Amino acid sequence: MFGIIEIPIWLAISGGLLMIFGLLDRVLVPSVRWYFRRRFERLINKLNDRLDLKLQPFKLMQRRVMIDRLTYDPEVMDAALDYAQNNQIPEKVIIDQVTGYAKEIIPSFSAMAYFGFATKLARIISRLIYRVNLDEKEKEIFANLDKNATIVFIVNHRSNMDYFILTWLASDRSALSYAVGEWARVSPLQQLIRAWGGYFIRRSVPGPLYQKVLSRYVQMATDGGVTQAIFPEGSLSLDGKLKRGKLGILSYMVANFDLSQKRDLVFVPVGLNYDRVLEDRILLKASKHPEEHFEFSLLLVLGFFLRQIWLRLTGRFNRFGYAGVNFGQPISLRSFIENSIKKSADRSTVLLGRKIMSEISKAIPVLPVPLVAYVIKSSDNPMKDSEIFENCCKVLTKLRSTEVRMNIPEDRQAYIIEHAVETLLKRRALKRVSAGIVIDNSDGELINFYANSITHLLTDDS
């Protein structure tokens, strides 16, 4: 009974390791989890004390839980089983396909990554490249928003810089969740975008099953109060004009809205414009060759920003002019539907889309370079500097008598207009001849590109 039992050394080591593992699993790991959970909860409480639009529990849900919830959503499961039956495909195969769609779409939001890194990076990049002008009505608009509603910012898409500028400007108000196209599905960019709350969508929808999965995610996020930003044009404008809006994501939100629910859905139109769109020549090239596919290059983007940083360090950097952001009149979906039903019993998404796009078009700010481009494009003859300034002043006077908002202070407009002319001359969009300044025929499309961004504000039927 008290004899010595010999066991192999490997068995003793294995038993010791198992004992240590059990100790970690039962004692230390729960303590560490509790510590980090407490830190996370304190971080969220601090953020929600500061933010106007709080971080909702749905946004903070674990990604694995969200994937399961979306995959086994009753509507998604019904669509999956119908698809399997109609196409004679095993149900397990279709459910695996749905799970793949869910993993592709759903983000993995990290409050620390968003507010600790993404917003700071967005601020640095935005201020490095532009002088950013924010709408003076911004505070008033945010103060009047229903804090219990789901807020969706509807934005015109001028540049990929839109994401950076909006993220920075909204960082004191909320965390935005973007719908991002397939162009960004490259490592490590897609991991960062997921951590920042972005969700990926396919522009070319592969079928009704994918559409159902995407629509249910959008509806779940909207019902959960997640603040979102969507670009209804779907892609960047190739000619500078505001494109017709697409109703995809908007229709998903409206279709699931119930007038009796407590949480309203409020759309905030946002107008963006730039003195220089970073991708302008790439977009113009794409407009000439629509059949060509232009791949996103992370190395090219990094090279561009590193070059700008080097120019700044060596004292040779000049920012690319102004970037302007204006907010339109918020639209309550509940009020819109109630008014529509009173008039015609029609709660059409098309009517809502038209109203939102109209508000966006009115919110697009007038900036110096687009203004000069519009004035020069309007004349067939060479113009002296004094003529350009005089005609710009006439346009500004006309605009100030309307509701159009401008980012050109009246006391500095002479210097600003002169600087805009010099910018276009340096970019070889304009050239000086003996008779004055004319459009450079080798790059005349660049003038059209910037003039088109505000032409709708200056036409008689605007």
In a domain, residue 98? The reply is no
Which of 24-33, 36-45, 415-424 ranks highest by mean pLDDT?
415-424
In a domain, residue 130? The reply is yes
The amino acid occupying position 335 is: S
In a domain, residue 286? The reply is yes
On the CB side of 228, CA atoms within 13 Å amount to 31
Residue pair 429/277 in contact (Cβ under 8 Å)? The answer is no
pLDDT at 371: 93
Looking at the structure, tell me whether residues 416 and 336 fall in a common domain. Answer: no
The string of pLDDT tens digits covering residues 216-250 is 999 999 998 889 999 998 888 888 999 888 888 88
Looking at the structure, tell me whether residues 226 and 352 fall in a common domain. Answer: yes
The domain spanning residue 451 has which CATH number? 1.10.10
Expressed as residue numbers, the domain containing 32 is 9-50
Looking at the structure, tell me whether residues 259 and 287 fall in a common domain. Answer: yes
The string of pLDDT tens digits covering residues 292-326 is 655 556 566 677 777 777 777 777 667 788 999 99
The string of pLDDT tens digits covering residues 146-166 is 888 899 999 999 988 898 898
Looking at the structure, tell me whether residues 187 and 252 fall in a common domain. Answer: yes
pLDDT at 343: 55
In a domain, residue 94? The reply is no
pLDDT at 462: 46
User: How many domains would you assign to the chain?
Assistant: 3
Looking at the structure, tell me whether residues 317 and 372 fall in a common domain. Answer: no
Residues 6+ apart with CB under 8 A from 38: none
Which residue is it, tokens 């004292």?
Answer: 315
In a domain, residue 73? The reply is no
* Residue 117 CB neighbour total at 10 angstroms: 14
The string of pLDDT tens digits covering residues 51-110 is 777 888 888 888 899 999 999 999 999 999 998 998 888 989 999 999 999 998 888 888
Looking at the structure, tell me whether residues 212 and 173 fall in a common domain. Answer: yes
Structure tokens at 366: 């007038």
Looking at the structure, tell me whether residues 198 and 271 fall in a common domain. Answer: yes
Query: Cα separations (Å) of 110 from 198, 243, 361?
Result: 11, 33, 34
Query: Cα separations (Å) of 354 from 191, 232, 253, 340, 360?
Result: 35, 11, 16, 14, 10
In a domain, residue 61? The reply is no
In a domain, residue 28? The reply is yes
pLDDT above 70 (res 3): no
Query: What single string gives the DSSP state of each residue in 215-248?
Result: HHHHHHHHHTT--EEE-TT-S--SSSSPPPPP-H
Looking at the structure, tell me whether residues 355 and 375 fall in a common domain. Answer: no
The angle, 0 to 180 degrees and rounded to 10, between the axes of the packed helices 349-363 and 333-344 is 120
pLDDT at 181: 76
Looking at the structure, tell me whether residues 46 and 150 fall in a common domain. Answer: no
Residue pair 47/197 in contact (Cβ under 8 Å)? The answer is no
The helix/strand/coil state of 272 is strand
In a domain, residue 426? The reply is yes
- Final residue belonging to a domain, choices 344, 363, 382: 363
Burial readout 66-95 (b: 16 or more C-beta within 10 A, e: otherwise): bbebbbebeebeebbeebbeeeeeeeeebb
Looking at the structure, tell me whether residues 182 and 223 fall in a common domain. Answer: yes
CA geometry: angle 429, 431, 436, nearest 5 deg: 135
pTM equals: 0.84
* Residue 186 CB neighbour total at 10 angstroms: 13
Looking at the structure, tell me whether residues 375 and 348 fall in a common domain. Answer: no
Looking at the structure, tell me whether residues 169 and 183 fall in a common domain. Answer: yes
